[in-house]
Chain A
Amino acid sequence: MTDQTGATTSDYNFAYLDEQTKRMIRRALLKAVAIPGYQVPFASREMPMPYGWGTGGVQVSAACLTPDDTFKVIDQGADDTTNAVSIRKFFEKTADVETTEHTQDATIIQTRHRIPEAPLTEDQILVYQVPIPEPLRFLEPRETETRKMHALEEYGLMHVKLYEDIARHGHIATSYAYPVKVEGRYVMDPSPIPKFDNPKLEMAAIQLFGAGREQRIYAIPPYTQVVSLDFEDHPFDPSKADAPCDLCGADHTYLDEVIIDDAGGRMFVCSDTDYCAGRQAQGHRGRLSPEAAE
């Protein structure tokens, strides 16, 4: 469909949301970038997908997208799962933007539960889908109280959670959504990314977090200090499965464990499918690569 000026149109406003709503979200984003780690309330809209499917991330992406952007969506590292495919199609349809599966080609990457393995650049925006933005919620159910605790930097409770972990498991067993302190001020939930990804939170790209159901937006500007909480005698450890990728042989990436037969056979593969495919294209091979198995 083409309008009188010749531009492509659809039945939707660009990127689905109306301009006023995008403006409201951009204001919240500006505030979030100005106060790293602080949860900014915003008037989350009903989106044409259920809560828990990334409505917060989608709204943030919608507010950031321009017609010139190239968009990538990953779900737990993969570009080809239902959630990722649906959201990618959503913006293809409503914004008519280019999409890609290649991390380095994307200008905006919306993610659920992972940070890409390839380092991001200053020209990129990483948008996180966040289910529960409040890191203190685990022990303090009252929103009035958690807001006050943030305001007054009363973060002892966060360490109580880690204490409980060590008391019960002998080590800090929290392995995802591992709490961090941003720029020495706000304690923040980095969304359910594996703790392996925590060190990558200090990056060149701008990071935006959207929680649709909870109506919160927060951000980490480029090159911001992000420290994972820990104890002196139980320091933070960004561990991962102790194995290389069975497809590309990488020993420095976050791995998914896949059961491959009825006899308990299993394999480890990079959770970042694009990164793994890129390595394989460069000739890297793992234990179960098709050629290696031959």
Chain B
Amino acid sequence: MTPLLSVKNVTKMYGDRIGCADVSFDLYPGEVMGIVGESGSGKSTLLAALAGHHAPDRGEVHFDTRAEGLRDTLTMREPERRMLARTDWAFVHQNPRDGLRMSVSAGGNVGERLMAVGARNYGDIRDTATDWLGRVEINADRIDDRPRAFSGGMQQRLQIARNLVTGPRLVFMDEPTGGLDVSVQARLLDLLRGLVREMGLSAIIVTHDLAVVRLLADRLMVMKSGHVVESGLTDQVLDDPQHGYTQLLVSSVLQV
């Protein structure tokens, strides 16, 4: 089986400081992988490097492209990488403001990726946008409202719709439930789980919330000071952590 994403020795330095070091893993179609670690552990740096937001100093990130199979996205030409970013990839930011166009209506936000790949029929674009708003539980009558008029949870759901509308195969998520109320989080997690299952998505989710990865992720990678200290099946890593840092992380969670 060909991995969807094959990461080899990705290293990113900030001067003398380590962003992330020698990270390698394979992600297979349909797998959801969580990356956990405290602030500054390098998880967001790694995610940004994988998604092509910045170039790592060393390493390879091979993606199974539709046309040509595994290609190193780091050495790929920028037009190709950007094309991937708006078709086969999606990126859900922690802050919806970073992932939405705040001055554009909800429908326009969802439709943008469609228009970016050549959709030129207004009626079709609007129908698809309406359908997607429904799938992320936003009323169709809000289609012409701007995201400013939405609650935080709705903005995040809109960001997800905007990202998934082109049927990507790999979704990067950076703390997708951060900054949301617990009840809103639960709803979002349920929604994400359903969409991931239904669309057969692969996903990489960066979070510091262990409850989020337990619900969403099949696999887990634990990072500390830029290094991966432990990885494995999510429930195994959480219930039988092998590394001292993971044990500390798991035991630090408040039980409710």
Contacts and interface: CB of A to CB of B under 8 A. Distances in A.
> Is B one of A's binding partners?
yes
Interface of A: 139, 148, 152, 154, 156-157, 159-160, 163-164, 166-168, 231-234
A157 B112 contact: yes
A167 B108 contact: yes
A160 B122 contact: no
A160 B108 contact: yes
Contacts of A157: 112, 115-116
A159 B120 CA distance: 8
Contacts of B78: 148, 152
Given A139-B103, A160-B111, A163-B122, 19 more contacts: A148-B78, A152-B78, A152-B79, A154-B82, A156-B113, A156-B115, A156-B116, A157-B112, A159-B120, A160-B104, A160-B115, A163-B108, A163-B111, A163-B125, A167-B105, A167-B107, A168-B144, A232-B121, A232-B122
B121 A231 contact: yes
Contacts of A167: 105, 107-108, 126, 143-144
- Kindly state the interface size class of chain B when it binds its partner: 20 to 34
B123 interface: yes
Nearest to A152: B79
Given A167-B107, A167-B108, A156 B122 contact: no
A79 B104 CA distance: 39
A78 to B, nearest CB: 35
Contacts of A233: 121-123
B8 interface: no
A153 to B, nearest CB: 8
A163 B115 contact: yes
Contact of A164 (B82, B86, B108, B114): B108
A152 B144 contact: no
Nearest to B117: A156
A234 B122 contact: yes
Contacts of B113: 156
B227 interface: no
A159 B115 CA distance: 7
B79 to A, nearest CB: 5
Contacts of A163: 107-108, 111, 115, 122, 125
Given A152-B82, A231-B122, A234-B122, A139 B144 contact: no
Interface of B: 78-79, 82, 86, 101, 103-105, 107-108, 111-117, 120-123, 125-126, 143-144
A155 to B, nearest CB: 8
B52 to A, nearest CB: 13
Nearest to B103: A139
Contact of A160 (B112, B117, B121): B112
Nearest to B144: A167
B117 to A, nearest CB: 7
Contacts of A232: 120-122
A239 B111 CA distance: 27
Nearest to A159: B115
A166 B82 contact: no
A159 B82 CA distance: 18
7 contacts: A148-B78, A152-B82, A164-B105, A167-B107, A167-B144, A168-B105, A231-B122
Contacts of B125: 163
Nearest to A172: B122
Nearest to A164: B108
In this complex, the member of A139, A152, A157, A159 whose beta carbon has the largest number of chain B beta carbons within 10 angstroms is: A159
A180 to B, nearest CB: 15
A167 B106 CA distance: 10
Contacts of B104: 139, 160, 164
Contacts of B116: 154, 156-157
Contacts of B126: 167
Contacts of A160: 101, 104, 108, 111-112, 115
A148 B77 CA distance: 13
B111 to A, nearest CB: 6
B132 to A, nearest CB: 14
B142 to A, nearest CB: 12
Q: Which 6 A-B pairs have the closest CB atoms?
A: A156-B116, A159-B115, A156-B115, A231-B122, A232-B121, A152-B79
B26 to A, nearest CB: 30
A233 B124 CA distance: 9
A159 B144 CA distance: 16
Contacts of B107: 163, 167
**Which of B113, B114, B125 has the largest count of A CB atoms less than 10 A from its CB?**
B125
A127 B103 CA distance: 33
